[in-house]
């Protein structure tokens, strides 16, 4: 079974929510990054690598992903991913109007099943698309969607109070098999106003839509990114302010005892 939890604010150092924290006896910490290195430093290269470049990433996105400190660094015990509006020419020789960063644990850390959680303050604005998600480690062999995709946190700027948690896999009845759970803050509140805890608990043997193939019984790697524009969020407009930053306090992975 996979359970998606409503994002929940942290105030005064405590979780004001029914979420079970990862420190309970039911869970054993298997991997984490607390992002506690020196201000201005790069993310730990033993834990994170990067997707780089433009090309739209299958969604008609507008950004070029880089590993520059202008787009990704450690600051005040947070991982800071910064989306900027700037002319930038990547290694493909194409100049694009936005830059950002996309980090991943591919080839460095993978796990099947458990609790994956992150405390994040997301960016905001039309056309801004932050995400905390996972892909199957067989993507280079089998491709997408056969590798499977688990989206723990996705937000599009025109829905400021809504988190989307989704599963995507192959299907014989449609291009993909998809399940999505949408959770929302009360009217008038925005996810970008505070840090929230985003978590998924992943177990085997869950049912899947008719025609869908269950592809969630192998290790996955973690991805953190901020996209700009694309088919789903739409593109930035005159109301969008740059730069926009996603602040990640920590990422922790646990196994069930």
User: Rounded to whole angstroms, how far apart are CA atoms 50 and 101?
Assistant: 8
Q: Tell me if residue 149 is catalytic.
A: yes
Q: Tell me if residue 63 is catalytic.
A: no
| Other beta carbons within 10 Å of 33 | 24
Q: What is the DSSP letter of 53?
A: B
Coil, strand or helix: which one is 57?
Answer: helix
User: Rounded to whole angstroms, how far apart are CA atoms 162 and 8?
Assistant: 12
Q: Are strands 78-89 and 244-256 parallel, antiparallel or unpaired?
A: antiparallel
From the candidates 86, 154, 159, 201, which is the catalytic residue?
Answer: 154
CA-to-CA separations, 128 to 77, 80, 84, 143, 182, in angstroms, rounded: 23, 15, 11, 26, 18
- Tell me the CB-side half-sphere exposure of residue 74, using CA atoms within 13 A: 15
From the candidates 63, 149, 159, 203, which is the catalytic residue?
Answer: 149
CA-to-CA separations, 15 to 19, 20, 29, 108, in angstroms, rounded: 8, 9, 18, 30
Could you list the active site residues?
149, 154
């Amino acid at each position: 079974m996979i359970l998606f939890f409503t994002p929940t604010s942290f105030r005064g150092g405590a979780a004001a929510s029914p979420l079970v924290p990862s420190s309970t006896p039911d869970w054993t910490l298997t991997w984490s990054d607390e992002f506690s290195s020196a201000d201005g430093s790069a993310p730990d290269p033993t834990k994170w690598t990067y997707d780089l470049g433009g090309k739209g990433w299958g969604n008609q996105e507008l950004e070029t992903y880089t590993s520059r400190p202008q787009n990704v660094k450690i600051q005040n015990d947070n991982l800071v991913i910064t989306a900027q509006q700037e002319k930038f020419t990547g290694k493909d020789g194409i100049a694009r109007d936005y830059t950002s960063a996309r980090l991943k644990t591919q080839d460095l850390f993978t796990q099947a099943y458990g609790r994956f959680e992150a405390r994040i303050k997301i960016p905001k604005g039309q056309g801004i698309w932050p995400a905390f998600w996972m892909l199957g480690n067989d993507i280079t062999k089998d491709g997408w969607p056969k590798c499977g995709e688990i989206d723990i946190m996705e937000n599009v700027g025109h829905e400021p109070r809504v988190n989307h948690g989704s599963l995507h896999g192959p299907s014989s009845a449609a291009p993909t098999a998809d399940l999505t759970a949408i959770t929302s803050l009360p009217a008038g509140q925005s996810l970008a106003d505070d840090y929230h805890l985003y978590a998924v608990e992943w177990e085997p043997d869950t049912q899947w839509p008719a025609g869908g193939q269950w592809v969630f019984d192998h290790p996955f790697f973690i991805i953190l990114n901020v996209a700009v524009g694309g088919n789903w969020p739409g593109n930035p407009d005159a109301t969008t302010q740059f730069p926009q930053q996603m602040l990640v306090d920590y990422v922790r992975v646990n196994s069930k005892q």
